[in-house]
Amino acid sequence: MRGIAQSMGLAPVSMITPGARGRMSGGLSIRMKILSRVVNLGKGAIGIAVTVAIWEAARELGFVDPRDLPSAVAIVGVAVADLWGGDLSHAVLATIGSWAPGLAIAAVAGAVAGIALALLPRLEIATRPLLEFLRPIPSVALIPVALLVLGIGLQMQLFMIAFASIWPILFSTKTGVEGVDPRFVETGRVLHIGRTARILRIVLPAMLPSFATGLRTASAIALVVAITVEMLTGQAGIGSYIENVRLNGLIAEMWASIFVTGVLGYLVNTLFMTVERAVMPWSTENRDR
């Protein structure tokens, strides 16, 4: 058999070196990942095609007045035109200008509060009633109070965005710190590593995946609240743009701005997931991808 394999240019399995086996296994793993991504892209394309088909069928069969439901091609065309040379691009930039700093405030405050609550049990017990009271309050319900206290402006927008998006960051961070393996902390204590150093070198790296998940969830919430505040207060942004074109009867422009909002949310989520994979490849969630 060995002679036949050699005559065919094939090496017996027993003659393959460990390094060659590793390269073969690595190449197979890369091919499987590429195939998986292609399959996922194909599934996504099929989902989009089915959605567009249902959309067009609803128009053609008269379930919805075609004047109120433009074609998908028309919506995409108007969206591209408004982004390229219209006011929609300025509205998107205005929304990002309030969304990003509001989310940043929530990220810093939520991370600090989550770490403190996890490491200081007495503080967690003392603040638990207040947190459980504030967390269920819909952020939209606070808009009248925010307008009364802060007025119409960037400060009010930042407060609303930060208040709505801080909760997933805070509780995800708290859960991440509480989930740190006690053996790691005990090892640091045995090695005479100080409390501050243990937090910086052991606790923080271990809780980063939980913090990142909370931040990604909060980014979507912050975008929703930013647009809602713009719709209700008339502040510059996608929300006020949608209201203006709706009131002026520009149906295609209204659907185009909604479409752009969905694309923006998708891009934000993709950006955060990409950063997570690059910065935290050790996390369980990223290892499985």
Establish if 119 belongs to a structural domain: yes
Kindly state the tokens that stand for 169: 């960051």
The answer, yes or no, to whether residue 12 has pLDDT greater than 70, is no
> What are 267's two structure tokens?
């891009």
Taking all residues of the chain, what is their mean pLDDT, rounded to a whole number? 82
The more confident residue out of 117 and 289 is 117
38 and 145 in a single domain? The answer is: no
Which burial class, exposed, middle or buried, applies to 129 when counting CB atoms under 10 A from its CB (0-12, 13-18, 19+)? exposed
User: 54 and 93 share a domain?
Assistant: no
Of the candidates 60, 84, 110, which is a domain's last residue? 60
Whether residue 146 is found in the same domain as residue 258: yes
State whether 192 and 256 are in the same domain.
Answer: yes
* Domain boundary pick from 60, 81, 98: 60
Confidence band of 11 (pLDDT split at 50, 70, 90): very low
Return left, alpha or beta for 69; rule: phi > 0 is left, psi -120 to 50 is alpha, else beta.
beta
Domain check: are 194 and 141 in the same one? yes
Q: Compute the average pLDDT of residues 54-71.
A: 79
Residue 67 lies in a domain: no
In this model, does residue 24 exceed pLDDT 70? Answer: no
Among the residue ranges 25-39, 84-98, 169-183, the one predicted with the least confidence is 25-39
Q: Report the b/e string of 96-116 with b at 16+ CB within 10 A.
A: bebbeebbebbbeebbebbbb
In a domain, 130, yes or no: yes
Residue 209 shares a structural domain with residue 238: yes
One domain for residues 9 and 87? no
CA 202 → CA 169, 209, 271, distances in Å?
A: 19, 13, 27
Largest Cα span, the chain = 89
Residue in 167, 146, 161 with CA at minimum distance from that of residue 98: 161
Please identify, among 60, 89, 110, the residue that sits at the C-terminal boundary of a domain.
60
Q: Are residues 202 and 246 in the same domain?
A: yes
Is pLDDT of 8 > 50?
Answer: no
The answer to whether position 128 is within a domain reads yes
Q: pLDDT tens-digit profile of 253-276?
A: 999 999 999 999 999 999 998 888
Residues 25 and 124 reside in one and the same domain: no
% of the chain exceeding 90 in pLDDT: 31
Same domain, yes or no: 166 and 221? yes
Residue 178 domain-assigned? yes
**What is the C-alpha to C-alpha distance for residues 71 and 256, in angstroms, rounded to an integer?**
11
Q: Kindly report each contact of residues 82-90 with a partner whose C-beta sits within 8 Å and lies 24 or more positions away, as own/partner.
A: 82/253, 82/256, 82/257, 82/260, 83/260, 87/241, 88/238, 88/241, 88/253, 88/256, 88/257, 88/260, 90/236
What is residue 235's three-state secondary structure?
coil
pLDDT, mean of residues 202-212: 84
One-letter amino acid at 273 equals M
Q: Between 92 and 4, where is the model more confident?
A: 92
* 187-196 average pLDDT score: 72
Distance of CA 118 to the CA centre of its chain: 24
Predicted confidence band at 285 (pLDDT cuts at 50, 70, 90)? low
Q: Answer yes or no: do 53 and 117 share one domain.
A: no
Assess if residue 92 is contained within a domain: yes
Domain match, 53 and 100 both: no
> Above 60 in pLDDT, residue 49?
yes
Asked whether the predicted pLDDT for residue 249 surpasses 50, the reply is: yes
198 pLDDT exceeds 80? no
The pLDDT value given to residue 16: 55
Please give the pLDDT value at position 71: 83
Judged against a pLDDT cut of 50, whether residue 25 lies above it is answered with yes
DSSP 16: S
222, 106 contact by CB (below 8 A): yes
**Does residue 66 sit within a domain?**
no
**pLDDT value for 153:** 84
* pLDDT surpasses 80 at 193: no
Residue 151, Ramachandran bin (φ over 0: left; ψ between -120 and 50: alpha; else beta): left
Q: What is the mean pLDDT of residues 160-184?
A: 88
Confidence at 13, pLDDT banded by 50, 70, 90: very low
Q: How many domains does the chain have?
A: 2
User: Which of 104, 109, 105, 115 is CA-nearest to residue 173?
Assistant: 115
- Is position 168 within any domain? yes
Domain span including residue 32: 2-60
List the structure tokens of 186: 């005990």
Residue-level pLDDT at 70: 84
